[in-house]
Structure 1
Amino acid sequence: MTAPPTTVDLPAVRRAMWRAVLDGDAHGACDVVFPLLDGGLDAEVVLLDVIAKVQAKVGVEWAANRVSVAQEHAASAVNDRVITAVLHHPAARVEDPGRRGRVTVACVDQEWHALPARLLAEVLHLRGWRVDFLGAQVPTPHLIRHVHRTGPLAVALSSSIPTRLPVAHAAISACQATGVPVLVGGAAFGPDGRYARQFGADAWAPDAREAAGILERGLPPTGMETARQAIEDLPHLGDQEFTMVVGTARQLVKQTMVDLEDRIPALRAYTEEQRHHTAEDIAHLVDFLAASLYTDDPELFTRFITWMASILTARGVPATVLRPTLDLLGGQLRDFPRAGHHVERARRALTTAAPAPATSGSQDAV
């Protein structure tokens, strides 16, 4: 069974779960879901239609500045503990585990958001796969050694942040070079999986349920020619702009900070902590610009800038502070036409459209 019984009020369940998670109460959260499992609700439904949706709300509420970073971390830890508890419940017992074959599930290198990948791993286990879940930020050489040693039918890679796309591409190509097909998922690959297709991944899935379905239908074996073709399909990298931005990122951040102080003298009175956070924000901006250059998609950078504007607005900081930052960064990149185009598009997006709120609705809605 993969759909909830009609008698279960899932929105009400999620609201109760949300209250427990927000309180950091793992035992209370288990008290919400265990009666559902006792009553015959499928464990997969609990994982994907309760826990996963509550976890998504954690991110939304953080972006809206309605929960703190500490609350966000605590809530994520509670969800992780509840997943473990659910999988030890008798309702999650799997008959003939591993009957479908072996699959490797991992986050790409530098990707710390492991919960989406873990949910996929547990769903696949419930459906009868033998799953090697390697966890967060798996360096590609270690991943490949594991693939050679275990010979999985497929590798499922997860990445949530677009700045990890270059290493994700390398991991996809390296796995395919071993002859193992690659399924990818996560927000990093775009809302429609556009970067998965650009990098030549064998499949993309928007969520764990769809990913499990794709693996059940089967992925054809891949090979070295596929991996080589995926790399050759990025001819724009020949202009070296991506390489130059990555190589000079620290200098770009440092010079932007210096120029901002000239443009906005009030920054000179910042505390050391405020200066650190400002430099960190500029570094994120440069990282996303590099990712947009890697994919040759200026919309990637624009999406990040408008998202950052909504985050600042939710925290009472005028989003207009981003405009001088983009102006100064664009000035440093005047000899890089693609980078300049990406920055200018993002600057125009800030100018022509007021940032939308990070989210809408009450905290009780899930």
Structure 2
Amino acid sequence: MSTAVAEHAERLWNAVTTGDEYTAGDVVVQALGAGTDPESVLLDVIGAVQRRVGQEWAANRLTVAQEHAATAINDRVIATFGYLLKRPEPHLGRVTVACVDGEWHAMPARLLSEVLRLRGFQVDYLGAQVPAPHLVAHLHRTGPDAVALSGSLATRLPTAHATITACQATATPVIAGGAAFGHDGRYARLLGAEAWAPDARAAADRLARPLPRPHAGHQPLDDLPHLADQEYTLVTRSSGRLVKTVLAGLAERIPAMRTYTDLQRQYTAEDLAHIVEYLATALYVGDEELFTGFLTWTAGILTARGVPAASLVPALELLEAELRDFPRATGLLRAAHTRLAEPAAGSELSA
């Protein structure tokens, strides 16, 4: 990254974290006016600032409100590109860009859409939380060359799998991207996507070449034979009961919980629900690292907020007792327990 680009990014950071939308817009206008490549403004200025927003929230140096405000400002700043730049006429085909249903982190998909337009693609950007039936209806109506499917939340992987399969049933290939699909694209490959890209530049480069056409007759279970044991289905169906049972068990183990306010109990229940949801998702993809990685990240979030990471251990133990007849689930819970016992667990964000 050049010094000039880094300076633009720092100025944009200062603007979005103080809620100064007009200055944020000026930063982009001035960067483009100074000759900075538009793609670099999108990815190395706006994109870099957005990543920093997420990192600072995780480290408890930005509030949720600040994170939301910064994201909203960045989103509106991106909109100025349509007024400031003369994009090339589309000549590289048509791409539909959409987020997985239930995925509300739309910024990566928005940035990709703008990069593709700059490269000469015709783009249909559908935004966040696109239900598969609506996406399929759009594909039938417009006939794009590919779907770029974005996901940041790993818990949406089962939904992503169904969406990928639905797109392929229309003979439309899928390129997947975003943190949900793994830093190396392992889940994109596992779920049958025709391609994966680690970032917007790589996705645009890959889409410049035709993606392979989907295989006829492909079935989702062909990718995941381990689902035959029904653990994913049973854990998912019993998630509400699991959360209630573990919450009651924690109240017995941790006396301080008996004096929790209704709001504190609600937050605890939501945290437990996330743990169960990630456990179910790890069962779906058959990958221990997805669950242990989430618990390590959660430990870091708690540590940054002054909550001991060890507070997660009783919840894991109670879940293991409830799921003692589920060998894959108990294996995941024990692996997470072991990971949390490691000295480095939860320390990454506390510095």
- After TM superposition, the score normalised by the length of structure 2 is 0.97
Contact 1:199 1:231 in 2 (8 A): no
> In structure 2, what residue type is equivalent to 1:345?
A
- Gapped runs of 5+ residues in structure 1? 362-366
Q: Secondary structure at the match of 2:98?
A: strand
Could you tell me which of 313, 331, 338 is aligned with 2:328? 338
Cα deviation code 1:232-256 (max 9, x no counterpart): 1211100000000000000000000
> What is residue 323 of structure 1 aligned with on the other side?
313
Could you tell me which of 298, 306, 312 is aligned with 1:308? 298
Could you tell me which of 181, 198, 201 is aligned with 1:189? 181
For 2:164 and 2:331, the matched residues in 1 are separated by 29
> In structure 1, what residue type is equivalent to 2:164?
I
> What is residue 32 of structure 2 aligned with on the other side?
37
> What is residue 114 of structure 1 aligned with on the other side?
106
Q: What pairs up with 1:99-178 in 2 under 5 angstroms?
A: 99-178=91-170
Could you tell me which of 90, 94, 111 is aligned with 2:87? 94
Q: Secondary structure at the match of 2:80?
A: helix
Q: Percent identity?
A: 57
Cα deviation code 1:265-318 (max 9, x no counterpart): 110100000000000000000000000000000110000000000000000001
> What is residue 67 of structure 1 aligned with on the other side?
62
> CA 1:350 to 1:360, structure 2 compared with 1: closer, same or farther past 3 Å?
closer
Q: Determine whether 1:201 maps to 2:193.
A: yes
Q: Determine whether 1:353 maps to 2:343.
A: yes
Deviation at 1:330, TM superposition (A): 0.7
- After TM superposition, the score normalised by the length of structure 1 is 0.93
Deviation at 1:128, TM superposition (A): 1.0
For 1:296 and 1:163, the matched residues in 2 are separated by 13
Deviation at 1:33, TM superposition (A): 2.0
Cα deviation code 1:181-226 (max 9, x no counterpart): 100000000110000111111000010110000000221222333x
For 1:164 and 1:242, the matched residues in 2 are separated by 14
For 2:162 and 2:212, the matched residues in 1 are separated by 20
For 1:126 and 1:360, the matched residues in 2 are separated by 40
> In structure 1, what residue type is equivalent to 2:152?
S
> What is residue 246 of structure 2 aligned with on the other side?
256
Deviation at 1:86, TM superposition (A): 2.7
Q: Over the residues paired in the alignment, what is the CA RMSD in angstroms?
A: 1.3
> In structure 2, what residue type is equivalent to 1:327?
E
> In structure 2, what residue type is equivalent to 1:291?
T
Contact 2:303 2:349 in 1 (8 A): no
> In structure 2, what residue type is equivalent to 1:74?
A
Deviation at 1:358, TM superposition (A): 4.6
Deviation at 1:20, TM superposition (A): 0.5
Contact 1:183 1:201 in 2 (8 A): yes
- Gapped runs of 5+ residues in structure 2? none
Deviation at 1:360, TM superposition (A): 7.5
> In structure 2, what residue type is equivalent to 1:88?
Y
Contact 1:44 1:123 in 2 (8 A): yes
